[in-house]
Every structure is written in structure tokens, then in C-alpha cells.
Amino acid sequence: MKKVLFVCDGDNYSHEAFEFIKQLQQHEPLFVKGLFFSTLEIKELLYAGYPLNNDPGLQDTERGIPPQVVERFINQCKTNQIRYLAKEHSGFSWSRAFWEKESRFADLLIISQKMLCHNIDAQQPNTYMLELLRWVGCPVWAVPEKATRIEQIIGAYDGSPECMHALAAFCSIFPWHLHLPTCFVYIKNEDRAEIPDLELLEEYVNAHFTDAEIQQLHGDPDQLFTTWIACHKNPVIITGSFGRSAVSNFLQKSFSGQLIGEQIAPLFIAR
């Protein structure tokens, strides 16, 4: 059994995130903790760099958590025989300390690539999603808001410890996916670049995956990777850390952020 965190703010309930929970439940029992926040109160948080402009599109009712949202979660859990706990929180609980502690006691956090604080800032990954991804310590599965059936695995490899940690976490959490066609890709904008620790990578990959290959591509990773991904049918993408710095511009420009913004495929992130 695994403990999974399901996140929802206001009425930004992700249908596809719960569909993924149902898929997980087919492989092993789950305990799902639903964390529900008030969108408008999150908007009012006085963190430096947060967009604090008034938004007439936000309704007064969003100062509280719509009861039908929590009821939907509970009913879906009951229907699918999933153990659950629903917790409602003030938006002012949305903080580094809260998420560091909650994620420390969880195996996986599931979010939507589109819906998180969507009516505050629809440009994903928005500030709130980036903060959440920096704060949590457990792996994250970010789902696009479109029906997806995982048919292959793509590993974004750069030779870093973070990359290998993400790969190991994926193997541990999703052993039933390891038979799928898998490709690990190393992209470098240098013609003579070699794949770091290739022999060790081959040993690890061959020990865990039944149908895997390692490829090297030459070009700008931020541009080439997303184009290359589009040629693959229904993949999940494994990637390493989103980082910790609240002022890092790298997160805004990373290919992980680009993948989330374009909702190309589910993304597994671990650090």
C-alpha cells in the first residue's frame, strides 16, 4: 500500500489526476489524502513575487472550499474502494513548512499540469506550482488534463545524481511499468559529447527494464527534447529535481516547465 497526496484548490478539481489514482489502485491498494485549499486565500498570501493583483474572475464563494468538490472526492474514493482522508485547509496553510512536512510522510503527490491555481494564473507552470514543486520532498506525478494511457517510458538523462535518483524512485513506485518500451535520451549541444557514465547506466537499465535503449541527440536540449517527445506515443517522462531556489530563473526556462506548459505527457519528478 502507498500513501498518495491529491491536491485541489477551490473548485480546480482535476478529473485526470483522480483517473490516474484509479489506475494506481488497480495495481496495489492506496491510501489517498485529499488536501483542499481556498483559492482566494492562496491568492492573498503575501509571498514576495506572488501576483497580488485583484482578479474580478474570482468569485466570493471561493473564499471557502466548495463542499461539492470535497464530496466528489469522497464519493469517487468510495465508489472505487479507495481508502481516503479529506482535509480542508485555509489557504494560509499553503507554505514551505506545510508541504515539506506533508510530503515527508507520503510516497507520491499527484497534481494536474493545468488545474492547480488555474483561475489565478492560467499560464503553467505558474508561481504556485513552481513553489509546490520546490517544496515537496516526495516524488510528483504531474498529469495533463487529457486522457492518457502509458505506453512507453522516456527518461531524460544528464548524468546527474538527481537524474538517477528520479529513475530509482520510478522503478520503486511503478514496478508494473518496467516492461514497457523505454528510451533514455541524453541531449548535448556538442558534437563530441559523450554520454556520462554510459557503462554504469547500461548496467542499471538492463537490471530493471526489459525493453530499453539509450540514445544520444545533438542540439539545444530545451528545443530538441520537446520536439523529439512529440514523436512518441503516450509516454511518461522521468526527470530530476525542479530545484530549491525561489529566485532561480532556470525553473521558468527548463524543459520540464515547457513540458508542463504544453501538457505533452505525464511527468514524473523526483529529487
Q: Domain segments of the chain: what residues?
A: 2-143, 152-269
Question: Residue 28: what residue type?
Answer: E
Global confidence as pTM:
0.85
| CA separation, residue 139 to residues 72, 90, 165, 187, 194 (Å) | 25, 24, 10, 23, 29
pLDDT for res 61: 45
Fold match, 2-143 / 152-269: yes
pLDDT at 198: 95
At 64 the pLDDT is 67
Q: Kindly give the parts of the chain with pLDDT less than 50.
A: 46-62, 243-253
Superfamily of domain 152-269: HUPs (3.40.50.620)
Q: What is the pLDDT of residue 241?
A: 64
Confidence at residue 93, expressed as pLDDT on a 0 to 100 scale: 85
Q: What is the pLDDT of residue 44?
A: 56
CATH of domain 2-143: 3.40.50.620
